[in-house]
A and B are shown apart, each in its own frame.
Chain A
């Protein structure tokens, strides 16, 4: 490691100006020579492994080749740097390179997955995907015929109903966890955590066991056919999946509301309920929007809970309270498991639509989450104008996503 320039002794006069012609030392950063070493090591590692795997033994596949070549590269890089700068620096450089590349490599599967689905799904995506269902479609017809409107309707209804049921409960639970002083908060928090680890298939199995299985084959109590495979049952299962996600995200948002606001409200004589309703929740509004969007994004892609509840159906069924219903993930799942190529192509088209929906929701959640400070300063300016007071500096606020 290069020697660190000694700092000026305390008490000495003003720090001498750094000479202009001497470049600043950055002991941590990789130098041009380091990059040259890396390139050299990478090339020799590829060459060496090419020799071993294609000349001396049978092939290991490109993935195995990359893994082995990468490990060889790390070894070579360490040896060369240790020879040049000593072991201490070599270990540090090795860690930097390994950690950086380990983090960067995460982008590869994501790009590969999204790229693959776009390439397979796009050729068969036609506008009629959004308007037609699978009525009268035989397996031999091209994959561009028919569509997934029944799946879109199902997803919309199921997720909408689930959100409708979950949101009040999640909000009240989050308020309970963050705004009350109950002794039960600790056990409830543990259970919310445990619930977020609940396998989604178990959520579906539970609804199936309680509400569908006892009435299998005949009408449920009072002659209702709600108790069978239908969209409402699916939304109940999805609600179980969404509840912990939304609760915890809202709780995090509530925690970001400054205590000063609560105390100010209580000091003016407002009740706790009024404080939460008129001060805490409005302050956390955009964060709660993020929580809702993230919950929706989680639920939209869930397949497992639907297998035992919505069950899937090829035709449009706008009534979520009776008869099986399709949804976007079920559409993909059911088609992709069929053996013939056109069915699979339909599945890929559905997968493309699904991934676009999920990515859009994700992007919206991030934009809404990021805009919090902007909204806040706009509101502050408005308040300041209305009350004729000067703007006071805000305490720095943690962003929802760092």
Chain B
């Protein structure tokens, strides 16, 4: 609702005398309006309250784990409840989560930008609608089905590629695989590839909105100077949308960090630090929690709550930073996240 007060002078009407005092206008809301204001404000605040409650209760219930492990909870990578003393920690899970998310984002960014550029710059209207629908559809498929398909089909199909990369590209640190007869299924690489399909829609959606807001004048100026279409994209559209690309990628990273069921099915979920992304092994916070569902007593529950709290804070931080980056930029004002 935009209400603007335009003074008569600005419109070139009768000049207003200098000692003119504007007539005081009182806004006394009707009773219905007061009720309306209270109801809507209450609803808006409930979102704030809910999110705060989530953090608070996770903290409350994770008390036991933090009391037992103290700061070592963040530096322990094992999760052993059968030993005395119990050794549980979140480090192995966090490392796995970040690895999967980074692989996912690294694959999804170029593809997402391609899709966004195709939609805004290259396609005819007909293809534009089809591709937008396609990207939305990728977002609509449940995570469970991605996981199912990835774990049973894609993992097998990608094994030769992983093996080849390990055999011939092993001198590159991220492709190194050690050990005799390594297993290539259930690896962080494959989990990351599947998760990339799930974060791609959000990256494509944000970058698309930002690219679409490029001022037509700047676009046309680049073309009028004789630039090719790619020249225009590189010199005008991409620089203009840079912060949208960064923000969208961070938002995608946030989604990838929280991705649950697909990763539960794709990784063995044994909490160890696995630096070799092509090799079987690894766990993520969300996947490990999902795998442990059904435990209702003891230190494990408290540990799961603590892990959940860590995940909650990680995703919250990533998303907030992403919102700030997008909203502060020239191109991102008014973009829906």
**CB within 8 Å of B: which residues of A?**
1, 4, 28, 57-64, 67, 88-89, 91-92, 94-96, 98-100, 102-103, 105-107, 109-110, 112-113, 116-117, 168-169, 172-173, 175-177, 179-182, 184-185, 187-188, 190-203, 205-206, 209-210, 212-213, 216-217, 240, 243-244, 247-248, 252, 259, 262, 271-274, 276, 297, 300-304, 307-308, 311, 329, 332-333, 336-337, 347, 351, 354-355, 358-359, 362, 366, 401-402
Contact = CB atoms under 8 A, between A and B. Distances in A.
A297 B140 contact: yes
A184 B144 contact: no
A59 B261 CA distance: 32
B320 A172 contact: no
B164 A64 contact: yes
Contact of B146 (A113, A216, A276, A300): A113
Nearest to A101: B114
Interface string B135-163: 11110111111101100010001111101
A64 B160 contact: yes
Contact of B2 (A187, A196, A259): A259
A91 B230 contact: yes
B312 A57 contact: no
13 contacts: A1-B228, A103-B117, A176-B40, A176-B41, A194-B316, A195-B51, A209-B57, A259-B1, A271-B30, A302-B142, A308-B293, A332-B148, A366-B133
Interface of B: 1-2, 29-30, 32-33, 35-37, 39-48, 50-51, 53-54, 57-58, 60-61, 110-111, 114-115, 117-119, 121-123, 128-129, 131-138, 140-146, 148-149, 153, 157-161, 163-165, 167-168, 197, 200, 226, 228-231, 233, 251, 254-255, 257-261, 265, 286, 289-290, 293-294, 296-297, 301, 304-305, 308, 311-312, 315-316, 318-320, 323, 336-337
Main SS at interface, chain B: helix
A201 B54 contact: no
A98 B234 CA distance: 14
A259 to B, nearest CB: 6
A205 B289 contact: yes
Nearest to B323: A193
Given A205-B308, A210-B57, A401-B136, A197 B258 contact: yes
A304 B290 contact: yes
B233 to A, nearest CB: 7
User: Which of A1, A61, A212, A217 neighbours the largest number of chain B CB atoms within 10 Å of its CB?
Assistant: A61
Contacts, number: 301
Nearest to A53: B164
Contact of B47 (A61, A91, A188): A188
Contact of B197 (A109, A172, A192, A358): A109
Contacts of B43: 168-169, 172-173, 175-176
A193 B51 CA distance: 11
A197 B255 contact: yes
A6 to B, nearest CB: 13
B34 to A, nearest CB: 9
B31 to A, nearest CB: 9
B45 A271 contact: no
A239 B177 CA distance: 43
Contacts of B115: 102-103, 106
B211 to A, nearest CB: 12
Contact of B58 (A92, A169, A205, A303): A205
A273 B286 contact: no
Contacts of B129: 402
Contacts of A109: 138, 197
Nearest to A94: B230
B261 A362 contact: no
B286 A304 contact: yes
Contacts of B60: 209
Contacts of B286: 199, 201-202, 304
A61 B226 CA distance: 44
Nearest to B316: A194
Contacts of B138: 106, 109-110
Given A63-B160, A116-B153, A355-B141, 12 more contacts: A61-B160, A89-B228, A106-B135, A173-B47, A175-B40, A184-B45, A196-B337, A274-B32, A307-B290, A308-B293, A333-B261, A355-B145
Closest 6 CB pairs of A and B: A301-B142, A61-B160, A199-B258, A102-B114, A172-B43, A273-B36
A358 B141 CA distance: 7
Contacts of A248: 336
B47 A202 contact: no
Given A106-B115, A198-B258, A402-B132, A240 B50 contact: yes
